[in-house]
Amino acid sequence: MTDEKILKLKLEVLDEVAEIFKRVDEVAEFNTLKVLNSMREVKVSDAHFKTSTGYAYGDIGREKLEELYVKIFKAESALVRTQFVSGTHALATVLFGILRPGDEMISLTGAPYDTMQTVIGHAVKSKGSLKEFGVGYREIDLTNETNYFDAIKNVVTAKTKLALIQKSRGYSTRKTLTVDDIEKICAAVKSANKNCVTFIDNCYGEFVERREPIEAGADIVAGSLIKNIGGGLAPTGGYIVGRRDLVELTAYRLTAPGMGGELGASLGTPRLLYQGLFVAPHVTAQALKGAIFAAGIFSRLGYKVFPATKDFRGDIIQAIELNRAEKLIAFCRAIQKFSPVDSYAVPEAWAMPGYEDEVIMAAGTFVQGASIELSADGPLREPYAVYLQGGLTFEHAKLAILEAARASVQ
């Protein structure tokens, strides 16, 4: 594709999405005010940026940060820790914290993301999984709304302890849930079993909308600090927010019974976690603009994109069906080539731990694996869809997406 054609395509898409970008900016301003007001109300101070070591009893920075998350998410309690090594770790901590042998959990959004399948023991055997501990598992797929909500009422029974609801699409082309969708699902679960815990995997979904899942009736929510909520500054970690009794159970799983959330050194990270949270609504908006732009570019090139350019979005992920393995590989290599870090690296598909198929990943990021920074990945299986997410600035995302378009149409 010539530079002239690329320029023409870029201008056409930017004109098409101008009004959509305005709505994205409005949500970012709303959420920035939410974070700012929360920081003012809890009285964040320079003193909260000081480091702690060892057991870290009485770490005021850690305690204030969790108070801030409670305020922003409208939750009862929060656990925000760099001791979580990933979003999957935070999610697994919730499941192992709440579920006991003989309990049953149900995924209401089909098969969860690949790394969560090994936590559950879904489809393949995995050592230390919930299945190995005697926790039962079932799932239902998202279908049309009428049949889907009937199915929830039929599948959730008195013995169902926990319902897992994954907001994002994962490695699938199903629709991403909005907070309004989550509200309807939680209501359906509670009508079938009022004691069933509604648990939301919120990865990639924070600050995309004006509300978060706790406001829609969810009992507990978890996610990663190196996705939206960390604003590209958090160096590692995860969070859990929700009902006080449930968060307490997860804290006992993270550390040890009787210790819970009272321990956990912040080391040198506190300021980054606060500052990352403050810029997170803006950074999330930049990533959303990149996803919308990518949808516009690749739909005009004749590819199937999920969501469509003008669809309402519940997360920052853009799925593009490239139909051939070589195009998926070329796309990821183009994103890597236009990365600020490790741009010289050449991504190769490999059998990553926790994934069913070989996966190719492009992520030239300042924080290793941070998918709020521009990254792209996908499993080498039909329809060879690539999942694009992140972008600290829309300018960077735009340049890299145009290079990926050049590479994918050759």
pLDDT surpasses 90 at 352: no
Of 395, 185, 212, give the one whose Cα is nearest residue 315: 212
What gap in Å lies between CA 172 and CA 176, rounded to an integer? 10
136, containing H or E segment: strand 136-139
Q: How far is CA 306 from CA 109, 299, 303, 326, 402, in A?
A: 16, 10, 10, 20, 18
Instruction: Give the per-residue pLDDT at 399.
Output: 97
| HSE (side-chain half, CA atoms, 13 Å) at 1 | 17
CA 170 to CA 245: how far, in whole Å? 29
B/e letters for 48-75, b = 16+ CB within 10 Å, e = fewer, are bbeebeeebeebebbebbbbbbbbbbeb
| Owner of token pair 């920081």 | 39
Question: The tokens of 383 are what?
Answer: 């329809």
> How confident is the model at residue 113, as a pLDDT?
85
Q: Which of 231, 219, 251 is nearest to 80 (CA)?
A: 251
| Residue 351 confidence (pLDDT) above 90 | no
Q: How confident is the model at residue 328 (pLDDT cuts 50, 70, 90)?
A: very high
- Which tokens go with 396? 């960077």
**Strand partners of residue 305:** 320
Condensed to tens digits (0 to 9), the pLDDT of residues 58-87 reads 999 999 999 999 999 999 999 999 999 999
Report the length, in residues, of the chain: 410
Which two tokens mark 158? 């008195």
Which residue bears the tokens 């309004």?
Answer: 180
Pairwise pLDDT comparison (143 vs 203), residue with the higher score: 203
Alpha carbon 377 to chain centroid distance? 14
Least confident range from 45-59, 134-148, 179-193: namely: 134-148
Structure tokens at 381: 């299986």
Domains and CATH numbers, the chain: 3-30+277-408 (3.90.1150.60), 43-274 (3.40.640.10)
Q: What whole-number distance in Å separates Cα of residue 222 and Cα of residue 79? A: 9
Q: Would you place residue 356 in the very low, low, confident or very high pLDDT band (cuts 50, 70, 90)?
A: confident
In the prediction, which pLDDT does 195 show? 98
Q: At residue 26, does pLDDT exceed 70?
A: yes
pTM given for the model: 0.95
Q: How far apart are CA 223 and CA 358, in angstroms?
A: 24
Reading phi first (left if > 0) and then psi (alpha if -120 to 50, else beta), residue 269 is in alpha
For the cut 70, the answer to whether the pLDDT of residue 145 exceeds it is no
221 membership: H or E segment, kind and range = strand 220-224
What's the CA gap between 71 and 39, in Å, rounded?
9
363-398 pLDDT, tens digit per residue, is 999 999 999 999 999 999 999 999 999 999 999 999
The reported pLDDT for the residue numbered 124 is 67
By the 10 Å C-beta count (0-12 exposed, 13-18 middle, 19+ buried), 410 is classed as: exposed
Query: Is the pLDDT score of 213 beyond 70?
Result: yes
What's CA 194's distance to the chain center, in Å? 27
Residues 6 or more apart whose CB falls under 8 angstroms from that of 85 comprise 236, 238
Higher pLDDT, 123 or 233: 233
| Burial class of residue 292, CB neighbours in 10 A (0-12, 13-18, 19+) | buried
- The mean of the pLDDT values for the chain is 94
- What is the per-residue pLDDT for 410? 64
* Whole-Å CA distances, 153 to 149, 200, 346: 6, 18, 48
Q: Which residues pair with 241 in a beta bridge?
A: 78, 221
Question: Which segments within 264-333 are labelled E, that is strand?
Answer: 304-306, 318-321
Exposure string of 124-163, with b = 16+ CB inside 10 Å and e = fewer, is eebeebbeeeebbbebbebeeeeebbebbeebbeeebbbb
Share of the chain above pLDDT 70, in %: 98
- Report the pLDDT value the prediction gives residue 173, as an integer from 0 to 100: 75
